[in-house]
Chains A and B, each alone.
Chain A
Amino acid sequence: MNGIHDMGGMQNFGPVVHEPGEPPFHADWERRAFALTLAMGGTRMWNLDQSRAARESLPPAQYLGSSYYRIWIEALSKLMLQRGLVTREELADGRMRAPPVPAPGVLAAEGVAAALARGKSTQRSTSAPARFGVGDAVRTRVINTPTHTRLPRYCRGKRGTIVAVHGSHVFPDTNALGNGEQPQWLYTVRFDAVELWGPDTTAGAVHVDCWEPYLETLTGSQ
């Protein structure tokens, strides 16, 4: 989706404001919002990519006008409503009216440490050979899918070079749609900043992690 979340290269947002000694949370509700979002991930009613898609598909003005954890709460509410875990009336006042929907999992207190330490690897085995290797010249595809993708707008249709091969990983574009993990080879691609931006950049090179379906072989000159 060409959404507001895809901010690379946008201008006029002003300077980066640095807060010395910044704490992880700035209000108690942020603590709870963070923990609730992680804990609800333990229901396994959605995956990471669906969670990201829910955040980035908020209306652009709302996205820009919301603080970070507020975006998390909006997205969490949306996911729960979509899956029938809660009703709008329940969200409005926090009082249960409908019985709970059976969920595949619950993150119990005694399982938190192990779950966090284990993490959620996205690497998957594959029998398909990697199409590209380090040093290969590639071009990113020009795509404008209306659904979730991790290929930013600023690096579509651009020439780059493979600098790392990371194995086969869950493919966000299908996983976000509930169409399966469909693992794909994942590469780090180096782009000369001038290829991305022309002369109006102070970067030397920009590296982007790209799944194989985002890439095509660069043929011909250059």
Chain B
Amino acid sequence: MNHDSPHESDEHDRDHAREHGHSHGGSELSEMDARVRALESLLVEKGYVDPAALDILIETYETKVGPHNGACVVAKAWVDAGFRARLLHDATEAIASLGYTGRQGEHMVALENTARVHNMVVCTLCSCYPWSVLGLPPVWYKSAPYRSRAVIDPHGVLRDFGVTLADGVELRVWDSTAEIRYLVLPVRPAGTEGWSEKELASLVTRDSMIGTGLPKSADTRRAA
């Protein structure tokens, strides 16, 4: 039922191949492969697109911008009370001070998890997500199951992630309907006193910054 799953198109291609009595070998292009290649060739020929720009865009979001950015923000907030205060007051400015700016992070808000409050972020209407700190969203974030349920049954969604909150914790959901982008500031794991920012950042998972997960425990890090 994961309608945004890219694997569906693979299945479709296999079905297509069966229907037409031929198999898709490794060199044969899928329907979308062929279509997007044709589109790129057309748009480059027309001069609307600079092909070198495409490569830079892909490289940027595949290798440079990702949840490691957000992990650095969270780790700094865990060790630096002044930065934490700035982050909660004006997240756009605080995050920019670490060098993370730009597309899909123009207007940032940080949501502080505490022993009593847990925040979870969704975009029910499309796939709004803080690219500048988390990179591109995972498939599940863009999928119908998550978008439909996060606002009505967030505890059920957390169960899908294997997360159970302590009794009495208030679960607050944030639907990203405008250009405000939300970053969850998770609770610092116990037993990490004296850890460096770099060590702490290694505990910060992408899901913990969306609110569908928790940071790794101190034990996880030591075992690794």
Contacts and interface: CB of A to CB of B under 8 A. Distances in A.
Interface of A: 5-11, 13-19, 22-36, 38-40, 42-43, 52, 55-56, 64-70, 73, 76-77, 85-86, 90-96, 100, 103, 106-109, 111-113, 115-123, 150-152, 154, 164, 166, 169-170, 186, 188, 193, 196-197, 200-211
B172 A205 contact: yes
Contact of B6 (A27, A95, A169): A27
Q: Which of A28, A66, A116 counts the most chain B CB atoms within 10 A?
A: A116
Q: Which of A69, A115, A164, A204 counts the most chain B CB atoms within 10 A?
A: A204
Contacts of B136: 24, 34
A52 to B, nearest CB: 6
B102 A28 contact: no
13 contacts: A7-B148, A8-B150, A27-B9, A27-B33, A33-B36, A35-B57, A40-B43, A67-B3, A116-B103, A118-B101, A152-B124, A207-B173, A208-B177
Interface of B: 1-10, 30, 32-33, 35-43, 45-50, 52-58, 60-62, 66, 101-107, 109, 122, 124-127, 132, 135-136, 138-140, 142-157, 160-161, 170-180, 207, 212
Given A13-B3, A94-B41, A203-B173, A24 B62 contact: yes
A91 B39 contact: yes
B40 A7 contact: no
B204 to A, nearest CB: 15
Contacts, number: 297
A73 B56 contact: no
Contacts of B55: 35, 109
B215 to A, nearest CB: 16
B139 A19 contact: yes
B50 A122 contact: no
A115 B106 CA distance: 12
Nearest 4 CB-CB pairs, A to B? Answer: A94-B38, A14-B1, A8-B124, A109-B52
Contact of A29 (B30, B61, B178): B30
Nearest to B213: A18
Contact of A122 (B9, B47, B101, B107): B107
B106 A120 contact: yes
A29 B177 contact: no
A79 to B, nearest CB: 12
Contact of B178 (A14, A28, A204, A209): A209
Contacts of B140: 16-19
A14 B105 CA distance: 30
Contacts of A112: 53, 56-57, 60
A92 B124 CA distance: 33
Contact of A11 (B9, B132, B148, B180): B148
Contacts of A52: 125-126
Given A68-B4, A100-B48, A197-B152, A29 B126 contact: no
B6 A39 contact: no
B145 A17 contact: yes
Contact of B152 (A95, A120, A203): A203
A32 B37 contact: yes
A5 to B, nearest CB: 6
B176 A209 contact: yes
A150 B126 CA distance: 10
Contacts of A65: 3
